[in-house]
Structure 1
């Protein structure tokens, strides 16, 4: 079974959620299988479904988006995040101005609410236009990774045909694969074939 079949079988709602960090899962909305690109975002609806998996929903206020606008902006944020994360990983000092544009469009206000037990909680509620309310939380996750993340734990899958990223939260920090079910098993099978001469 090829990677794209496994990914679509395990993740029928879209891109894999294997990164253990929203910023990593953003990068994983694009994968590779047998040397070919696998794009999980092909429409505004694909992006909305992916965001909904993280409880990010459009605000009811503000202008509606032109068809394809969310897809274009989301892919631009993904490309920017990949560049920034890669450069940080390589201990370079990347230009952060573009990420700040996404962050500046994400306007929130403190709001006192009751949780499911009736206890008071202080949450921040978006008051942004549509793109800011949708992509702002994702941009904030990228910014938090750059500021707070341990880049020794920001890794890419070691399988040669995989480009998926993850934040290694394992106790020993020895995670090698995006998923044992996916690339870990493919590696084991390849090693077995090599040992058995087949």
Structure 2
């Protein structure tokens, strides 16, 4: 079994699959990190996210498709946050080409009908479809208003604030939240 290695560790702190996917590229300037550096790293992220089972082979061009989709998804989320329009070409292409095939079948052993769903794990769109589906559900949900960008300086991460009070300000209290609180404390003590 191949060990999963990421050149930059993935962050799962957004409380939403689509936002976690967007957050696979994080940081600014020289501190910019991309969790996707080859097809296998995309598969590793999808496995870690629970979207695909372990052992799925990466189809050709997965990295290019994942990066293009991530950029389009980020643009759509930012546009939705501003109540404006964005280019939906890439997202709609993945939704169309990657849609799982659903069939009604007869299960002879159980003597009953069942739903058989087959995903297109042999194509980039098929592997990315669950993330595109999560994105569609996110931007069309009435709770989209609780999607936020971290308030920490130099942090571009997005998250879905599902807290009861909807007052979450940082992508992670352990990292950005702590850093910002320490900075505020030092500013108060210094003045």
Partner of 2:150: 157
Per-residue CA distance 1:106-143 (angstroms, 9 max, x = gap): 2321467xxxxxxx985733146421221111111111
Classify the secondary structure of the residue corresponding to 1:17.
coil
CA distance in 2, matches of 1:56, 1:77: 16
- More displaced 10-residue stretch of structure 1: 43-52 or 171-180: 43-52
Picking from 96, 99, 107, the partner of 2:91 is 99
Partner of 1:138: 131
CA distance in 1, matches of 2:125, 2:54: 10
Q: How many residues align?
A: 180
* Contact kept? 2:152, 2:180, Cα under 8 Å: yes
Picking from 36, 43, 53, the partner of 2:38 is 43
- Rate the CA distance shift 1:86–1:64 in 2: closer, same or farther, 3 A: closer
Partner of 2:167: 174
Per-residue CA distance 1:63-100 (angstroms, 9 max, x = gap): 9733xx11111000000001111111111122323311
- Rate the CA distance shift 1:128–1:35 in 2: closer, same or farther, 3 A: closer
Structure 2: gaps of 5 or more residues: 1-5, 106-112
- Counterparts of 1:24-103 in structure 2, within 5 Å, are 24-32=19-27, 36-57=31-52, 65-66=59-60, 69-103=61-95
TM-score by length of structure 1 reads 0.78
CA RMSD in angstroms, aligned pairs only: 3.2
Per-residue CA distance 1:19-56 (angstroms, 9 max, x = gap): 00011101110111676311111111111111001222
TM-score by length of structure 2 reads 0.81
* Contact kept? 1:58, 1:130, Cα under 8 Å: no
Classify the secondary structure of the residue corresponding to 1:50.
helix
Per-residue CA distance 1:130-185 (angstroms, 9 max, x = gap): 21221111111111112225232010000011111000000010000000001010
